[in-house]
């Protein structure tokens, strides 16, 4: 079983309506105008799609932040680039990031809901859920939602935490992979209090105890693999458009080992 994991394209653009100047989007638009557009190259997302099509994994996983401020035009940029992947027959799991769920404005909420619908065979409101592919169970969760002006925090609500705990209390017949935007294993929570996640402690314990085999996440733009000798632990693919990296993870049922490889697209 082979997974190709990518994350955090962060397509951006100008404010798409006057309300963007009075809600949180002005922060994201300003950030994109003066910083992100010089750091993120969407042609690298095109290279990632090409790599996926050429290497034909059993499943592709995107762990969020398709956009910078969750505006419909930003989603349109990434969906257009990803269209060949959607037409390829390769299954795709996508979970929204905090930038995809940036504000409560109706058209922005509908844009992220439409993105899930376009990319996946489930709906935004279906999360959390479990999907089985190629001998593995994927626990798909949403930890993102609108926050205040100065916060990029995520939150695993009780419904989601209870869902994961209940599922993992059942007999384990195949590897379990949790897919979310935020890392479960945070080494410096006090230093990253504006960017970390709450409500996930019991689920993180399942990962540490190997009841969940691996966690695939985004949010952290630098790729990492916090794993043991059998490849179990947490993987972040990094930002595909900032670092030009994606992750390739293979599972061998014969030796029960996950093998990780960082792919550099540049």
Overall average pLDDT of the 239-257 stretch: 95
pLDDT tens digits for range 65-74: 999 999 999 9
Per-residue confidence (pLDDT) for residue 134, from 0 to 100: 86
CATH number at residue 219: 3.60.21.10
The answer to whether the Cα torsion of 85, 87, 89, 91 is positive or negative is positive
pLDDT tens digits for range 142-178: 999 999 888 899 999 999 999 999 999 999 999 999 9
The Cα–Cα gap between 116 and 263 comes to: 25
CB neighbour class for 189 (10 Å; exposed up to 12, middle 13-18, buried from 19): exposed
Q: Which of 252, 255, 101, 104 is nearest to 180 (CA)?
A: 101
Alpha carbon 122 to its chain's center: 15
- pTM of structure: 0.96
Which residue range is the domain that position 24 belongs to? 2-264
Percent of the chain with pLDDT over 70: 97
In this model, does residue 193 exceed pLDDT 70?
no
Strand partners, 104: none
The count of structural domains within the chain is 1
The Cα–Cα gap between 202 and 213 comes to: 15
Q: Which of 6-15, 79-88, 181-190, 237-246 has the lowest mean pLDDT?
A: 181-190
The Cα–Cα gap between 94 and 44 comes to: 18
The answer to whether the Cα torsion of 228, 52, 61, 264 is positive or negative is positive
């Amino acid at each position: 079983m082979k997974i190709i994991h990518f994350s955090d394209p962060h397509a951006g653009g100008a404010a798409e309506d006057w309300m963007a100047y009075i809600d949180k989007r002005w922060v994201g638009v300003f950030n994109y105008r003066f910083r992100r557009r010089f750091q993120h190259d969407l042609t690298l997302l095109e290279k990632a799609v090409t790599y996926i099509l050429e290497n034909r994994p059993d499943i592709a996983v995107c762990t969020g932040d398709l956009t910078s401020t969750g505006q419909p035009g930003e989603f349109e940029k990434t969906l257009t680039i990803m269209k060949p992947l959607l037409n390829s027959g390769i299954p795709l799991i996508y979970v929204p990031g905090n930038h995809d769920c940036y504000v409560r404005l109706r058209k922005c909420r509908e844009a992220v809901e439409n993105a899930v619908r376009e990319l996946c065979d489930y709906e935004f409101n279906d999360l959390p859920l479990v999907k089985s592919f190629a001998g593995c169970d994927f626990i798909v969760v949403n930890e993102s939602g609108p926050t205040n002006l100065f916060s990029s925090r995520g939150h695993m609500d009780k419904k989601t935490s209870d869902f994961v705990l209940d599922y993992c209390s059942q007999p384990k017949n195949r590897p379990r992979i949790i897919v979310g935007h935020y890392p479960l294993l945070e080494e410096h929570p006090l230093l990253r209090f504006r960017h970390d996640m709450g409500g996930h402690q019991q689920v993180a314990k399942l990962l540490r105890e190997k009841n969940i085999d691996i966690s695939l996440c985004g949010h952290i733009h630098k790729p990492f693999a916090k794993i043991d000798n059998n490849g179990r632990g947490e993987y972040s693919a990094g930002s595909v458009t900032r670092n030009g990296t994606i992750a390739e993870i293979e599972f061998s049922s014969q030796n029960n080992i996950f093998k990780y490889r960082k792919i550099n697209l540049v």
